[in-house]
Amino acid sequence: MKLKTLFTLILSILLISNIIGHPPHDHDHDGLHHWEKPSKDPDRIILTFNGNPATSRAVTWRTDNTIKNAVAQIAEATVNSKFVDDAERLTAKTEEFDLGQYKGNKSLIVHYHSVVFDQLKPNTLYVYRVGDGKEHWSEWIQFRTAKNEYAPTQFVYFGDAQNDVLEHWSRVIRQAYQTAPNASFVVHAGDLINKAHQDQEWAEWYKAGGFIHSQWTAVPVVGNHEFRSLAKNEPKQLSIQWRPQFTLPVEESLSKELHETVYTIDYQDVRIIVLNSNDKLEEQTKYIEDQLKDCTAKWKIITCHHSVFAPAKGRNFQYARDHWKPLLDKYNVDLVLNGHDHTYARGHVPVRTTKKSTDLQTVYVTSVSGPKQYELDTEQMKTYKKDGYELDKSGEQTQFYQVITIEENELTYVAYTVLGDEYDRMVISKDFKSGKKKLKQ
């Protein structure tokens, strides 16, 4: 064989080998950051509540569509790595998801996987990981189950992240983690991103929080920016990523459209009611009363995106003041956490009496964690006096996060700036027998 012919044959073999060993580049990945691209390795890992927080937790994650049989492992944490010998293996529920439903995304098919860990022990530190059961695993991640009984707890609350999430919200969630690393859960009060279906923005949200999302249990609240049309002249709809990426409680008594956007969590004698303030408000009015009328929880907290007492110009959630607030008064709700208005306001409604009363009904908070900021409408805030509302503290042009601590008969609320500096503080003290409350600030 001539040398030239031999060289050509060898070159051909190498080229064929290269093609077989390395499939053609997936051009659907063009223009994506490496942290946006799905792969065999788990990404976008997030914990949520699903079931009793003392005995269960849900985890959801994403891979490319080659991972068809995903699993999770869980064990009680130990001081060394020997827990792996006792780790329980659970088969994940896998959902195929087409990013290309929205023209602003790359036309990619990805897989979302989810597992609900149940029959866990209360007040126990667990360690878990997710993957394909073979070579592609996440790291081991820890979380603690709730206690069955009333006990001290702490959680974090964020108003809208929404815009420039990776660039400007990342330092907020990371500073919050430094302030309250042992928080039991975190409330994201709507508008987590700006364009509901834009996967690049969801990728930013997950990257901004990093491992925090997989360690702090999330309580996501749907905002108006989680709704958008898929195409021109079509009606707005819930983010196509919402249900695949969050494994949340389903309230079967509610319309299907409200599933996984309206739900209730009972955490150590604290009832947290999550509402969807975008749609079907009348149906949720009945739901609120159903969740409150026989509630024996020591603390009652409600969160929805739109502010009951809007502090920004041009904002007004009249329905909530007319129909929801009377129920909050009637059933002695302690705290309402809102977003939407891209500014800060904390106020309260005192118990109505013929004399000036120091007794408290409900504290209302609006806050913002992202860079988009609005101006306060001080004149509008004055009009809320007819509803009994008194403004206690306000702020603007500041990114905030809030840490709420519940212990014995006190709920302590502290708002911090992104610099980690305390900006606002109040304490609700409560007589559990009578339900009477005092506000200290």
In a structure prediction context, what are the per-residue pLDDT tens digits for the chain, which is 441 residues long?
555 555 555 555 545 444 444 444 444 677 899 999 999 999 999 999 999 999 999 999 999 999 999 999 999 999 999 999 999 999 999 999 999 999 999 999 999 999 999 999 999 999 999 999 999 999 999 999 999 999 999 999 999 999 999 999 999 999 999 999 999 999 999 999 999 999 999 999 999 999 999 999 999 999 999 999 998 889 999 999 999 999 999 999 999 999 999 999 999 999 999 999 999 999 999 999 999 999 999 999 999 999 999 999 889 999 999 999 999 999 999 999 999 999 999 999 987 644 555 689 999 999 999 999 999 999 999 999 999 999 999 999 999 999 999 999 999 999 999 999 999 999 999 999 999 999 999
| pLDDT of the residue at 391 | 95
Candidates 3.30.420.10, 3.40.228.10, 2.60.40.380, 3.40.50.2000; correct CATH number of 43-144? 2.60.40.380
The radius of gyration of the chain's CA atoms, rounded to the nearest angstrom, is 24
| pLDDT of the residue at 33 | 92
DSSP state of 216: S
For residue 283, the SS3 value is helix
Q: Supply φ then ψ for residue 304, to 5 degrees.
A: -150, 165
Same fold, 43-144 and 153-440: no
Q: Are strands 185-188 and 270-274 parallel, antiparallel or unpaired?
A: unpaired
Q: Which helix (H) or strand (E) holds 429?
A: strand 422-430
Note whether 260 and 249 are within 8 A (CB): yes
Give the C-alpha separation, 367 to 365, whole Å.
6
Distances (CA, A) of 245 to 68, 90, 106, 107, 436: 16, 18, 18, 18, 40
Distances (CA, A) of 88 to 55, 84, 113, 139, 274: 15, 9, 17, 16, 32
The CATH number of 153-440 is: 3.60.21.10
Distance of CA 108 to the CA centre of its chain: 25
Segments making up each domain of the chain, as ranges: 43-144, 153-440
* DSSP annotation string for 291-339: HHHT---SEEEEE-SS-TT--BTT---HHIIIIIHHHHHHTT--EEEE-
- The string over 267-287, giving b where at least 16 C-beta atoms fall within 10 Å of a residue's C-beta and e elsewhere, is bbbbbbbbbbbbbebeebbeb
Burial bucket for residue 25 (CB in 10 Å: 0-12, 13-18, 19+): exposed
Q: pTM for the complete prediction? A: 0.92
| pLDDT of the residue at 355 | 54
CA angle 271, 274, 280 (to 5 degrees): 135
Q: 166, 156, 155, 178: which is closest to 371 by C-alpha?
A: 166
